[in-house]
Structure 1
Amino acid sequence: MNRLPRPTAKPAARRQSANLSTRRRMLLVIGVLGVASIGLVARAFDLQVVRKQFYQDQGDARFLREVPIAVSRGTIYDRNGEPLAVSTPMVSITVVPSEVLANADRIPALAQALGTSPDELKNYLEQRADREFAYLRRQMSPDAAQAVLALGVPGVNGQREYKRYYPSGEVTAHVLGFTNIDDHGQEGLELAFDNWLSGKPGAKRVIRDRMGHIVEDVEQVRAPQPGQNLTLSIDRRIQFLAYSELKKQLDDLNADSGEMVIMDVHTGEILAMVSLPTYNPNVVTGSAPAQRRNRAVTDVVEPGSTMKTFTMAAGLSSGKYTPTAPMIDTGNGHWYFMGKDIRDVESGGNGNLTPTGVLTKSSNIGAAKIALSLDSKFLYDTYRAFGFGESTGSGFPGESAGYLKPSHGWRPIEKATMGYGYGLNVTPLQLAVAYATLANNGMRHTPTFIKGGADTGTQIVSTTIARELVDMLETVTAPGGSATRAQIANYIVAGKTGTAHLASAGGYAKNNYNSLFAGIVPATNPRLVGVVVINNPKSSIYYGGLVSAPVFQRVMTGALRLLDVPPDNIGRWYAGGPLQAGGGLAGTAQSQDAKDDQSAAEAVDP
């Protein structure tokens, strides 16, 4: 039996169901689109209004940069306007490591321009890949830097800087010092006057492109303030003379080191200061610390017989002594005091000497007896007044104060030996200041490295006593004195030799010495003081009169000529003739130079 087919849904119902489904889908799509639109509008509002400043700052941070404006360090001149330290423009190569690494194919060319290997350069960049800034090379010459920048390697840029240059090289090294790669003073006057010379770098905002290149200067944030210039009291010509003559003497005698200081007695201005061994401040790398030390200011020596001058100053100031009285018995050259043999070198001794004769013959015995006859506190105060045991106040970095033991702790033997220069320490600069005080009629000035930087001064001893001491010191360089090799043609020289045993473990070395000479010229109208110290000359010649006095003579001869100082000894030897050791005139008899100089040597039983 055939069955009839079942009836299907009506066409109208099917169409109605389809329309409803389509409508729902459209509403869903519209709703989604509406929500999305609202979200976009909200996001846009957030970006453009709510957080506009934040994203602006973020964008500026990626393209707007604040970069420094380099300033030139002030120039240092000598007293005559000759440049001693100048700054020259250089270019440092900087890099964004990630950008260079992203262009690895450019690394070989960049490495070649920088003078390194590709592997070393790549390793350097990889170690700094997370940085936005690094130096590739500091302070390249502008031409060499331009060759690197011309490659156009992404992320590689140039930055202007300055490098210090010292035209006089090692001649002025210890006075000037040097700067580091960031142009800040590290030693010497470069350090002492760093704030004055450095200036203040400026700053500007710039826009950089994606390769790091500056495409626009936006504004100046801070104006640059270049460093201020500095004019020193140093005379480059005299400095060179002192350097040349001292170096020659050290080489000839195979000495360990040496120093020389030259001062203007009326102002305290330092005209020259040399310390050897030295170094080249233009290439500091590789120099030893001992080479870079300014020994004229930082190192101390026992002054030996150069100290007798100030023992005598105390004697004259006390009223117990005059240049000619009382007579002092130095006997046969040996005086046993508290178990020590204080002795003079003169064969057979010097017998009776005037106070002037004590200086002329450089008698240890005479100086010791004068010191012992004075009140300890008075003697200490006199030494201190001349600047011993305290900094000179020059302001030089690392200056030593020396050593002067307080008088309340002096034992008699210490007081005696201090009278002729043992048991205390001084710097060459301190010694120069003390002699300049005498030369300036007893007025002490604080030493200065700045032209025109003199202070008003302090009166230490009376003008009369200062003049008497200078007159007494004239006999030291006259015939019969201990420093005839310090004589300068047409000028009268006043001065004092010193030959001090070097201190060593357990006492003093018997065959190692410091040789000193301190001199004033012209003696009748003093203008210059010079101090020469030569440390441990390794030869049979070591007395101050033989070793240091000739350096003084050669340097000061040139200095007097350069400064056009009028002579004071034309057509005569000394006004009135030099005083003999016994107080009379020397007459015409002259000892041989070797004997004269030998009489200056200090003898001490450690």
Structure 2
Amino acid sequence: MTGLNPEPTTDNVARMVMLLFRAAIVLVFVLLVGRLYQLQIVRGDSYRLSADNNRFRLQEVAAPRGVMYDRTGQILVRNRPSFEVSLVPDDLPFDDPETEDVNETTVEIARVLHLLEADTDAEIAIRIGELMFRRLGRADFADTVSGVGIELEYVLVPGPVELIESEDGGEPREVSNPVLIPDISKPVPFDGLVALVQRAIELGRQGSASQPVPILDLVDRIPAFEIVEESYRIPSVRVREVPVREYVYGELLSHVLGFMGPIPAALEEDYRANGYSNPNERVGLNGLEYAYQRELRGLPGFKNLEVDILGREMRTVGQVIDPVPGYNLILNIDRRLQQVMYDELAAEMEEVDAPWGVSIAMDPRNGAVLGMVSLPSYDNNIFAEAIDEDYLALERDERRPLINYAIGGLYPPGSTFKMVTATAALQENVITGRTQIVDNGPMYLPNKYLPNDPSAAQEFVSWNHRLGIVHGAMNVVQA
């Protein structure tokens, strides 16, 4: 019939399908070329930089810490080798949204802790928990463990010391408010350890995700090598040598030398502002280790490492910046004199049943401190070893052995102040070496509010007088 379109033939249909197919191929090709142009040209530099960041890692090389000697050249503090097991956040798997029922990061961390035998060895579990406590801080540690349904045990330790003025105008009193902290001397259950390590990894990813996060330190050589042999199955594990301090004479010089530890969580930002890019670095926290932290530390070096797809080191690329070793310290302290002072003070304290004691020897010509003993003392090597029970025992000790009473307490100067007043009086010719002064015990000082009223004068009584002792008449030489 006229006026009707002819029905499409088989050839026409095939031709149309072929045209559509070719058009689709061209369209896909155009899309691929466009996408390739975007990847290679438009965003090429960005992706190249991202690839390089995954391929190369800048690693800090710690400088050897300075050694301390006494005035005769005897070594007081030195470094000894130790090993540290860490996890690299970048090399841990991220959670896959398609497998919401499986937390890949948690599974990987659990594998690592199984490798370290944290599920069967109570000592390893305690050491991991103690390291996480130092890294996370008291509050974050407790919140993380309780977040997985585990109840912690707590211990009461002395808090910071405050000076409280006496209402009667007497000497101020030292008051310490006890603080509750988790009992890290007991192992945290395995699920709690996994949660703690995962929390530390989360914090690591917020900073430099390629920086290893320590989970177990102070590992001996043989166990460290065994972990290295097994770590090929878990690429995120790193084992590196980290020197620790050895205090040769322990408690004999602990208050003078001090100790080291990880950067406190509350001070991490302050240390970073001062050039401490590695949050895992151990720093001086007390004594000369703290006072001379900058000089002893030296300057860290850096090297650029090329890693494979699993994050394993392949080779060093480019120029290596060598670390600058820290300065050695030669002290005025005489170790043999210190030993004599320590023994004599300990014997005298035992004889009079005194809880505290201090002995200081100085060269009057230049003020050099030749010996300084504060008792009770402690072995500062516990801060370079995994001995949590000993540390908690120090914290609980009411005598507060961690305090250096030679410089960390407030005491009436007593007879030591006689030299100041006597020297001033002699220099100003107020007295001579033969001037007699009668001391019958009490002395009356004008009232600062009513200086002209003798009846309001304040009485000062020598402690000797309270014991029935009167000095009587004596000159400055006798005093």
SS at structure 2 position matched to 1:186: strand
State the partner residue of 1:239.
338
State the partner residue of 1:312.
422
State the partner residue of 1:157.
238
Q: 1:26 to 1:295 in 2, by over 3 A?
A: same
Residues 157, 212 of structure 1: 8 Å contact kept:
no
Q: 1:47 to 1:167 in 2, by over 3 A?
A: same
How much has 1:148 moved relative to structure 2? Answer: 1.8
How much has 1:127 moved relative to structure 2? Answer: 5.2
In structure 1, distance between residues paired with 2:65 and 2:255? 19
Does residue 126 of structure 2 align to residue 45 of structure 1?
no
Residues 63, 208 of structure 1: 8 Å contact kept:
yes
How much has 1:165 moved relative to structure 2? Answer: 1.8
In structure 1, distance between residues paired with 2:70 and 2:46? 55
SS at structure 1 position matched to 2:306: strand
In structure 2, distance between residues paired with 1:410 and 1:308? 28
How much has 1:169 moved relative to structure 2? Answer: 0.9
Residue correspondence of structure 1 range 475-514 to structure 2 within 5 A:
500=463
SS at structure 2 position matched to 1:185: strand
In structure 2, distance between residues paired with 1:255 and 1:241? 19
Q: 1:220 to 1:111 in 2, by over 3 A?
A: farther
Q: 1:122 to 1:37 in 2, by over 3 A?
A: same
State the partner residue of 2:250.
169
In structure 2, distance between residues paired with 1:322 and 1:78? 41
Does residue 233 of structure 2 align to residue 227 of structure 1?
no
Of 369, 372, 385, which residue of structure 2 is paired with 1:273?
A: 372
Q: 1:39 to 1:261 in 2, by over 3 A?
A: same
Structure 2 stretches of 5 or more lacking a match?
1-5, 94-104, 126-188, 263-280, 384-390
Does residue 225 of structure 2 align to residue 146 of structure 1?
yes
How much has 1:314 moved relative to structure 2? Answer: 3.6
- Pick which of 408-417 and 94-103 moved more: 408-417
Structure 1 stretches of 5 or more lacking a match?
1-12, 339-371, 377-404, 423-499, 502-507, 512-542, 544-580, 584-598, 601-606
How much has 1:329 moved relative to structure 2? Answer: 5.3
- Pick which of 226-235 and 54-63 moved more: 54-63
Q: 1:205 to 1:411 in 2, by over 3 A?
A: farther
SS at structure 1 position matched to 2:283: coil
In structure 1, distance between residues paired with 2:452 and 2:382? 48
SS at structure 2 position matched to 1:73: coil
State the percentage of identical aligned residues. Answer: 28
Of 27, 37, 48, which residue of structure 2 is paired with 1:35?
A: 27
Count of equivalent residues: 351
The one-letter code matched in structure 1 to 2:216 is R
Residues 76, 84 of structure 1: 8 Å contact kept:
yes
State the partner residue of 1:197.
296
In structure 1, distance between residues paired with 2:452 and 2:342? 39
Q: Deviations over 1:425-479 (max 9, x none)?
A: xxxxxxxxxxxxxxxxxxxxxxxxxxxxxxxxxxxxxxxxxxxxxxxxxxxxxxx
State the partner residue of 1:294.
404
State the partner residue of 2:362.
263
Residues 356, 376 of structure 2: 8 Å contact kept:
yes
Q: 1:323 to 1:57 in 2, by over 3 A?
A: same
In structure 2, distance between residues paired with 1:146 and 1:235? 40
The one-letter code matched in structure 1 to 2:380 is P
Of 207, 211, 214, which residue of structure 2 is paired with 1:135?
A: 214
In structure 2, distance between residues paired with 1:75 and 1:251? 34
- Pick which of 288-297 and 75-84 moved more: 288-297
Q: 1:252 to 1:147 in 2, by over 3 A?
A: farther
State the partner residue of 1:110.
116
How much has 1:250 moved relative to structure 2? Answer: 0.8
SS at structure 1 position matched to 2:242: strand
Which has more radius of gyration?
A: 1
SS at structure 2 position matched to 1:59: helix
Residues 302, 323 of structure 2: 8 Å contact kept:
yes
State the partner residue of 1:88.
80
Q: 1:124 to 1:297 in 2, by over 3 A?
A: closer
State the partner residue of 1:19.
11
In structure 1, distance between residues paired with 2:223 and 2:451? 66
Residues 451, 457 of structure 2: 8 Å contact kept:
no
**When the two structures are superposed, what TM-score results if normalisation uses the length of structure 2?**
0.62
Q: 1:193 to 1:274 in 2, by over 3 A?
A: same
In structure 1, distance between residues paired with 2:112 and 2:371? 54
In structure 2, distance between residues paired with 1:21 and 1:245? 112
Q: 1:127 to 1:119 in 2, by over 3 A?
A: same
Q: 1:193 to 1:336 in 2, by over 3 A?
A: closer
